[in-house]
Structure 1
């Protein structure tokens, strides 16, 4: 094992889970959570911060600011703490409480927006808040994961080559779509590869990333309430949309086999399983990317009250009508309103609200 002095210097990128016994189809799951940030977002965060430092955008007195539903915020919190920067994460009420507390434990400030944008989501509100901060004080530096080429370049340089080395006969790759950084980096790499690889994007139902009508989304990580600026659909062969109850059922299905994964992973695996069931997949080499693990979802998708409150008593019912056993107990979940609000950073715009998060919302 390596000896490191910076937390971002370690990232295990060569661990795969064979899911055939769980999903009933040949599928390898690339696990991206084994680093000190706990998710695939460490790669993009590293790339964007290093580029900003190289270009002279980040200085000693800079305050990093970014809009994030959770995982990128944790990755930037860790990097900022290690490098001595201040960091403000602008998120919304869908952000898991454990994720917020983790960012604050690393010394970051967390601002939660409560007002929805015109699409019924929070992303537009988050971005407007970030823009107003940057206009109010030139010490704020917004990396903008939604438009920053470093977001996809990181996966072009790391994630895709890691898969290619392990699976030189790869046929189909399933990638979750949020900002589409992972999707675009991998798709661009395999477009140039020695053999054709089918790129299947997996999106959350209710997301408008690939068009369609917006709908309620309660699980953070995948999906967008606007078209991702990084997205180039010419690199994508197919798009699958997964309903949140299917995400939840897949997460619990894997947990019953000892693998506790997050909501993004449940969505990707559910979409991949559906695709493989509709195709002659016996001779295909198929890989899906798991962005994170499940510990940060214990008070949401693995908690009985949260599930029943939002999706009804039958959300975990199997095809034969019998329920899957539910992880977690019936105790009430600590609401983010029960925690003290974060202290504001200097010179925040007076017009920006700092309302507490709501437990339930639409996006």
Structure 2
């Protein structure tokens, strides 16, 4: 029996889903959505808050503020509620309605940036708003998930060792790229491990995290409209970029097998399955990190009208072939 007094004290660490039957490739998903925040962002949120408390920048009078497309905002809302902090989440119009309502239910104040008001797109608009608020009142404490080293250190101390304990013969690890906190923490850990592990970053088409041309991105979670300050691509062996239509196909294919995962997980799965199909080595021990579950995407990824309006009918057809994934070694 487990008894907890704060929600962040519970996080399932050892659950994996074998999706070979669904996709025909040897791939295990490390499920990170089984906690009260519903995503892997709980780890980074808890680590960043603890770091700010230790260094004295976060006090009882402080107001936490952060820019988030959704999952980190929920995690911080939950932690702020449990610790008695005020929290302001600055998000944008791509944030799922269920996510916004969840943050508000937990007591957070949600500021919604309705348009791409800066050269940096939605993210630039959010960061500009955060900076304005911080300049207006010194009680605001911005954790800055994009540059805070506690973000990647959380995964260096938790996520990567969890995988290492379960898979001492790991060959390849697929990690979605957003702020790159999860990616950098895992990549740094496995760089010095007892055997080489190929680190494959999975990004979304239209993201500028690893360079390239910016494009429309409507599914929140992965991808950045700038190079992430935390990113050191010397730790990354390869980058796979996934079309959002393929994210939707992967999510829906998983759902047809009874597993309702979120958009970030769909992107990672699509990229990983494509990579494995190109390499065709069945003996590989392959793990992908599944950051989130799917309930918050019911009105987007799993809603036929939303999908068809943005991507046409093809993603709704499970027999339609996936797009070619762009991939590049680093």
Aligned length: 321
Runs of 4+ in 1 over 4 A off after TM superposition: 117-120
Q: Cα RMSD (Å) of the superposition?
A: 1.0
Q: Alpha-carbon deviation of 1:119? A: 4.4
Contact 2:253–2:318 (Cα < 8 Å) also in 1: no
Q: Which has the larger radius of gyration?
A: 1
Distance 1:320 1:212 in 2: 27
Distance 2:319 2:11 in 1: 38
Distance 1:277 1:266 in 2: 16
Contact 2:93–2:115 (Cα < 8 Å) also in 1: no
Contact 1:14–1:30 (Cα < 8 Å) also in 2: yes
Structure 1 length normalisation: TM-score? 0.87
Q: State the match for 1:336 in structure 2.
A: none
Per-residue CA deviations over 1:308-351 (Å, capped at 9, x if unaligned) read: 11111222224468xxxxxxxxxxxxxxxxxxxxxxxxxxxxxx
Per-residue CA deviations over 1:112-157 (Å, capped at 9, x if unaligned) read: 0123145462001100110111110001000000000000000000
Distance 1:153 1:38 in 2: 20
Q: State the match for 1:44 in structure 2.
A: 44
Structure 2 length normalisation: TM-score? 0.96
SS of residue matched to 1:21: helix
Structure 2 runs not aligned, ≥5 long = 322-330
Q: State the match for 2:328 in structure 1.
A: none
Per-residue CA deviations over 1:49-107 (Å, capped at 9, x if unaligned) read: 00000110111111000000000000000000000000000000000000000000000
Per-residue CA deviations over 1:139-178 (Å, capped at 9, x if unaligned) read: 1000000000000000000000000000000000000000
SS of residue matched to 2:128: helix
Q: State the match for 1:176 in structure 2.
A: 176
Structure 1 runs not aligned, ≥5 long = 322-363
Q: State the match for 1:35 in structure 2.
A: 35
Distance 2:217 2:112 in 1: 17
Q: Against the structure 1 CA distance between its residues 156 and 25, is the aligned structure 2 distance closer, same or farther, given a 3 Å change threshold?
A: same
SS of residue matched to 1:274: helix
Alignment of structure 1 residues 1-363 onto 2, 5 Å: 1-119=1-119, 121-319=121-319
Q: Alpha-carbon deviation of 1:23? A: 1.1
